[in-house]
Structure 1
């Protein structure tokens, strides 16, 4: 389920809590709304509110850290791709086929990570390496260096290719949202209780209802922010694919792509 759908569900639950509090206020006898009852409810909701605030803060911090980490990994992988192409260019013109295969592999990699230009079957199997990526590693090992310089470049190219593969696997393992659904349900339940207590002891009027709606919208917005940061390759806050795709520019200058 998308982040916007889950945040809308959270807003509906919070609004339902507000409505429940208003209904209870109208049907409960006055003795149930005494100052003692008000103090007990306020103490309880204060405790839940503190826990919910701490959890929201921790989740936002964790989601932001994960988002920044994956953004850094994308930049590192992009740099390694450009570096690998540089090694191959220095090796000699015989690496033109490998560079073309790498270009094709980067296109497939970007499409799979950002879930673009692919079928639903491909989207459900992100760990499966493409034929182009497998061929690049195979071609690198099949190179026959003629001197010490080429042997050094081949070794560095193979190591860089391995680093790219490791980063790719790390990114694919982090593509799913890490917030468990039961955890999210409990958090929404806490917020519903808190907002129900707000409307239980306040006479409903335009200011009260409007303020509660704004507060509920803010809480749902915090949940939306957490869910969006947890899905860095989708949604409106996704990491840009431009750096990785722009790395193709120097690679595209080599000989035409060979057919498989």
Structure 2
């Protein structure tokens, strides 16, 4: 789902519901405006408002949790790559090819994931990766191949003494963590919001604003209040979807940890 279009759909539904209520209210027979009828509508409204508020809160917390988890995993990936590069640097010149592959993998990951940002400078990594929608699929065959190739090159290294053997073992563990972080991020990028559930929530909100229009007196202050309420709830829907998409909209996962890691392993 797209954040802006989702918010606009919700806003349109809420305003439409309120407008229908305002238009229909004068057409209702007087018995439909009786105190007991109004009281029952208020009770149903209260139930729906409670459910909607609870669901909106849970969806916001879930989307924020997914966003924070992805941000933490990118920082962990950056840290693991820097540690692995330090180990490869300490191993010596035989590991230079592995370091070059990891630099290329990291730079290509930044360029392909954050396409709206300036790519890392240099020509040491492939610029023409297959275009993809990173909000739905973060995986890339070329990136997978580069990472696998770096692992193969590391396993080919031969230790000539105990110190180099320890470095090989440490690098193997560090590279394993990088691969795990790589695939974990690919799995996390998928949207956690169910479209049918989101539309069901929008329907609840539509009914709530329809009842607002039916029960509210027709004066400018009431209409302004209902409009502001609809805009506020639509903004909540925007934030929820924006947090859930990770790489699209105003709120995106920062690329800075990986850029800092690239700077650290380039020098």
Match runs of 1:115-130 below 5 Å: 118-120=129-131, 126=139, 128=141, 129-130=143-144
- Specify the alignment match of 1:75 in structure 2: 75
TM-score (norm: length of structure 1): 0.92
Choose from 157, 178, 196 the match for 1:143: 157
Choose from 213, 222, 230 the match for 1:199: 213
- Specify the alignment match of 1:168 in structure 2: 182
The answer to whether the aligner puts 1:157 opposite 2:171 as a matched pair is yes
The answer to whether the aligner puts 1:41 opposite 2:54 as a matched pair is no
Q: Which secondary structure state, in structure 2, belongs to the residue aligned with residue 204 of structure 1? A: coil
Distance 1:251 1:130 in 2: 20
Q: After the TM superposition, which of the residue ranges 26-35 and 138-147 deviates more from structure 2?
A: 26-35
Q: After the TM superposition, which of the residue ranges 23-32 and 81-90 deviates more from structure 2?
A: 23-32
8 A Cα contact 1:113 1:172, kept in partner? no
8 A Cα contact 2:102 2:150, kept in partner? yes
Structure 2: runs of 5+ lacking an equivalent: 117-126
8 A Cα contact 2:130 2:140, kept in partner? no
Tell me the CA shift for residue 215 of structure 1: 0.6
- Specify the alignment match of 1:257 in structure 2: none
8 A Cα contact 2:138 2:186, kept in partner? no
- Specify the alignment match of 2:51 in structure 1: 51
Distance 2:22 2:170 in 1: 69
Deviations 1:87-135 (A, max 9, x none): 0011112211111111001122223433567443585571534332121
Distance 2:138 2:73 in 1: 21
Tell me the CA shift for residue 142 of structure 1: 0.5
Structure 1: runs of 5+ lacking an equivalent: 254-260
Over the residues paired in the alignment, what is the CA RMSD in angstroms? Answer: 1.7
Match runs of 1:1-260 below 5 Å: 1-114=1-114, 118-120=129-131, 126=139, 128=141, 129-253=143-267
Distance 1:184 1:122 in 2: 21
8 A Cα contact 1:71 1:239, kept in partner? yes
Distance 2:133 2:227 in 1: 42
8 A Cα contact 2:78 2:258, kept in partner? yes
Q: Which secondary structure state, in structure 1, belongs to the residue aligned with residue 23 of structure 2? A: helix
Distance 2:194 2:113 in 1: 22
Closer, same or farther: CA 246–125 of 1 in aligned 2, 3 Å: closer
